[in-house]
Amino acid sequence: MDTILEIAIQIITRIETLHSIGDIKPENFMIGFPQTKQYQTIHLIDFGLCQRYRNPYTMQHFSPRSHDRMVGSILFMSINSHFQLKQSRRDDIESLAYLLLYFLNGKNLPWNTNYSANNVLAKNNPLEHCRKVGSIKQSLTSDQLFKDHPKVFAHLLR
């Protein structure tokens, strides 16, 4: 638990830094090499999906828009992403909550099903599969998701 809390603090700090200047999934974070000063430091990588969320001159937020493709990893993407809505900083925190839940549950998420019916749907109609997973996420409250874990994690989704 201490390790997951330390990971959460470092990831929130990295996301906050990124926002002051995208896609959150385990592969976007690296830990420094052993026997170096960076060994216990988490680094954020891969900014391929990053976009401006506000006008750099006026600092006004851009209006929400929809997009016509899936953006991010289906396990960790925010509910907005499942329904092709433009992401914001809030969506990064939601993705972080799912990432921490993944760690807390030993890589098990309520929507991470490997049933053959879901695999067929994912292959034949990925957009419909994406929406189905989004509906599962929508149906669960933060308290339900983190019921066996400290309440601080559920607060990320409020």
Catalytic residue of the set 23, 91, 92, 148: 23
Alpha-helical runs (H) found in 21-141:
79-82, 89-104, 116-124, 126-139
Amino acid type, 43: H
CB 137 within 8 A of CB 79: yes
**Is 23 considered catalytic here?**
yes
134, 75 contact by CB (below 8 A): no
Q: Which residues are catalytic?
A: 23
